[in-house]
């Protein structure tokens, strides 16, 4: 006979409702495949007046109805944010319940505290949905690829940013225009700052880096740059030079040094991540045994995320779930690895004679040489324009100093933009 698993659901929004609907839709398939029968015992919400996809007697405003119910086996946290989510996860573990969460923010900030308590109380923890929604990347890294030494991982981890850059390149329209479109379609939050400033991707990168490299980094040890300064001119110029701009998250290890970065990057059009478009996510893992492997799929949305949550629930219920190990190596230092890369630079200028020459001279003074340069002027009376430059492989520090010197000269209308190019 199938084993019945009773779920205490905390949060009944996009992901919580997706979970309810996926259980209703696919319960017979799941039961046949896993011999596990799933039942939502209770669902915690905040607003008593919203319409819910569950009978009223299953919905509660009191979290103790979940912690204190001995018939509940697994607590699923899909509230989001740090508090009260952290407190609820810890309370569930204190009540000896297994937990599943989709919440990258709480894991990035308090993952070690949560996993330590889970270990002490012999509870299982699933967090597949916290990174890349429906893509089973956590299982792959903690189990399927366990035999590999991984030295590099590159991903497109934020669907909102990828959607915005894709649409900007399809329609040649501005960041603000596409952001409103994304908000209308439910692909961007009303406050999109976590997504477009790279913070959401940085939370996910911290989780992936911990699993892959056993390192514990803090947010202030990661380089984080958003996509909010990219203009249609950048997209078009990158395209003309044979590149696409993508929101990238990278973890690279070099001996005891780790470089964790989130920033936009120019990728050659044939790069495996260059064809990951719209709200899709992907992770490229380089393992010493498997070589390059790509995971690709929907990184968000009600049903894709619920699919990952449900997979954790079933794996835990079958008791063959491998608890991801959170076992940081203390020797690792976090610092940018001083490798060189080519850069795309854009200098917003007033149209005056000799501007390209002046910029090129300062770059040359810092040992930066140029492969391509072009100027574009606005067709109006403002006398403004942009100089775009692609450099030979250069050190990040040299680029930063050169940009500061060019800005000090007072010939720019705005701060210059520098985007790394990945070959």
Ligand X SMILES: NC(=O)c1ccc[n+]([C@@H]2O[C@H](COP(=O)([O-])OP(=O)(O)OC[C@H]3O[C@@H](n4cnc5c(N)ncnc54)[C@H](OP(=O)(O)O)[C@@H]3O)[C@@H](O)[C@H]2O)c1
∠ CA(5), CA(10), CA(16), 5° rounding?
80
- Nearest approach in angstroms of CB 277 to ligand X is 18
Looking at beta carbons only, is 187 or 235 nearer to ligand X? 187
**Closer CB to ligand X, 253 or 298, in the complex:** 298
Nearest distance, CB of residue 84 and ligand X, angstroms: 5
Helix then strand count (H, E) for the chain reads 13, 17
Binding site for ligand X (CB under 6 A): 11-16, 44-47, 50, 78-80, 84, 102-104, 129, 133, 300-301, 305
CB atoms within 10 A of CB 162: 27
**H helix runs in 351-410, sequence order:** 355-365, 396-408
Residue nearest ligand X (C-beta atom): 13
Question: Least Å distance between CB 302 and ligand X?
Answer: 7
Smallest distance from ligand X to CB 81, Å: 7
Q: Compute the least distance from the CB of residue 281 to ligand X, in Å.
A: 10
**352 has catalytic annotation:** no
Nearer to ligand X, 13 or 232 (CB): 13
Question: Would you say 157 or 250 has its CB closer to ligand X?
Answer: 157
Asked if residue 292 lies in contact with residue 14, where contact means CB atoms within 8 angstroms, the answer is no
Q: Which is nearer to ligand X, 47 or 320 (CB)?
A: 47
Query: What is the C-alpha separation between 2 and 9, in angstroms, rounded?
Result: 21
Query: What would the two tokens of residue 137 be?
Result: 């990347």
**One of 204, 216, 246, 298 is an active-site residue; which one?**
204
The dihedral sign for the CA sequence 384, 385, 391, 397: positive
Q: Which helix (H) or strand (E) holds 28?
A: helix 14-34
Give, rounded to a whole angstrom, the gap between the first and last alpha carbons of the chain.
55
Q: Closest Cα partner for 37 from 74, 3, 73, 1?
A: 3
Distance CA 301, CA 30 (A): 21
Mind telling me the catalytic residues?
204
């Amino acid at each position: 006979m199938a084993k019945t698993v009773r779920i205490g659901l905390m949060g009944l929004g996009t992901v919580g409702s997706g979970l309810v609907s996926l259980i209703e839709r696919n319960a017979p398939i799941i039961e046949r495949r896993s011999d596990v029968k799933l039942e939502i015992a209770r669902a915690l919400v905040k607003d008593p007046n919203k319409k819910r996809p569950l009978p009223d007697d299953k919905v509660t405003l009191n979290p103790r109805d979940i912690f204190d119910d001995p018939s509940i086996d697994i607590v699923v946290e899909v509230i989001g944010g740090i508090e009260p989510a952290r407190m609820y996860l810890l309370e569930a573990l204190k009540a000896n319940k297994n937990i599943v969460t989709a919440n990258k923010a709480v894991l990035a900030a308090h993952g070690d505290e949560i996993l330590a308590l889970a270990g002490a109380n012999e509870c299982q923890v699933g967090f597949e949905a916290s990174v890349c929604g429906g893509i089973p990347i956590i299982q792959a890294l903690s189990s399927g690829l366990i035999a590999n030494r991984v030295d590099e991982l590159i991903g497109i981890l934020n669907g909102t940013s990828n959607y915005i850059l894709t649409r900007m390149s399809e329609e040649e329209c501005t960041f603000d225009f596409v952001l409103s479109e994304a908000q209308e379609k439910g692909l961007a939050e009303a406050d999109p700052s976590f997504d477009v400033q790279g913070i959401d991707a940085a939370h996910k990168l911290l989780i992936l880096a911990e699993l892959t490299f056993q390192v514990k980094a803090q947010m202030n040890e990661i380089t984080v740059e958003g996509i909010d300064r990219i203009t249609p001119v950048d997209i078009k110029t990158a395209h003309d030079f044979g590149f696409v701009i993508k929101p990238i998250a990278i973890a690279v290890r070099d001996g005891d040094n780790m470089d964790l970065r989130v920033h936009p990057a120019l990728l050659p059009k044939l790069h495996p991540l260059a064809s990951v478009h719209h709200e899709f996510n992907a992770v490229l893992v380089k393992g010493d045994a498997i070589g390059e492997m790509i995971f690709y799929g929907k990184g968000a949305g009600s049903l894709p995320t619920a699919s990952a949550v449900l997979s954790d629930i079933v794996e835990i219920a079958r008791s063959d779930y491998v608890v991801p190990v959170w076992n940081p190596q203390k020797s690792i230092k976090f610092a940018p690895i001083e490798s060189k890369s080519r850069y795309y630079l854009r200098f917003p200028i007033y149209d005056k004679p000799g501007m390209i020459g002046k910029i090129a001279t300062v770059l040359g003074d810092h040992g930066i040489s140029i492969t391509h340069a072009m100027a574009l002027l606005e067709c109006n009376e403002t006398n403004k324009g942009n100089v775009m430059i692609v450099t030979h492989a250069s050190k990040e520090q040299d680029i930063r100093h050169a940009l500061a010197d060019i800005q000090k000269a007072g010939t720019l209308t705005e701060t210059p933009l520098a985007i790394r190019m990945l070959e």
